[in-house]
Amino acid sequence: MGSLKGAAPPERAEAENRAAGTAANKAWRSHFPYHWDVDELVSRRELLQFAVFTSGTLFLGTALLAVLRLFRRKSVTAEQQIAPVAAVSPGEALYFHYPRPDDQAVLVRLEDGRFVAYNQTCTHLSCSVFYQEKQKRLFCPCHEGIFDVRTGEPVAGPPVRPLARIALRSDGEHLYATGVQP
């Protein structure tokens, strides 16, 4: 039987393969420096328990915020004087705070003399809505949402829900806000 000329003996070839494997192993270990014995620091059960606990906590937090919001809405029944009727001309707007000092609202006197008032918070992402007198519309500059001034319904842009309407009462001389209609 003939031997191959230039071929390395089997022991030498095996040693070279081991050395190449060790070099590749070292390169791999430098990119991923974790060992099998520390791979069991977090078991699947512990990970699942953590995920369930975190999800439950987020759900309870959201439920609590929803309940607090319901209580907040129910407390909005106080009557507040806004302005004298003569202070707002047809086609103009007046900004005020209702029902709390940090809640912004807008009162608009329509061309036909009727008054409408809305919460100034956009129903899309809670930016402030402003009355544009020339265009006769309520406008949200954040995402260019447009609301009909007569109804508070969205006309264009991303908002899909109408603005919260503020109920008004007049005694002939003054306008009063009497509640928020969602």
Give the tens place of pLDDT for each residue, 40-52: 677 888 889 999 9
Residue type, 50: F
19 pLDDT tier (thresholds 50, 70, 90): low
What residue ranges in 85-164 does DSSP mark as E strands?
93-97, 104-109, 115-119, 130-132, 137-140, 145-148, 154-156
Averaged pLDDT, 64-72: 84
- Mean pLDDT over each residue of the chain, to the nearest integer: 84
8 pLDDT tier (thresholds 50, 70, 90): low
pTM of the model: 0.61
CA 53 to chain centroid: 23
Structural domains present in the chain = 10-74 (no CATH), 80-181 (2.102.10.10)
Give the tens place of pLDDT for each residue, 126-149: 899 999 999 999 999 999 999 999
The predicted structure's pLDDT at residue 101: 86
102 pLDDT tier (thresholds 50, 70, 90): confident
Instruction: Please provide the distance, in angstroms rounded to a whole number, between the alpha carbons at the two ends of the chain.
Output: 97
pLDDT at 1 > cutoff 60: no
Q: What are 135-141's contacts with CB under 8 Å, separation 24+?
A: 136/91, 136/111, 138/106, 138/108, 138/163
The predicted structure's pLDDT at residue 61: 95
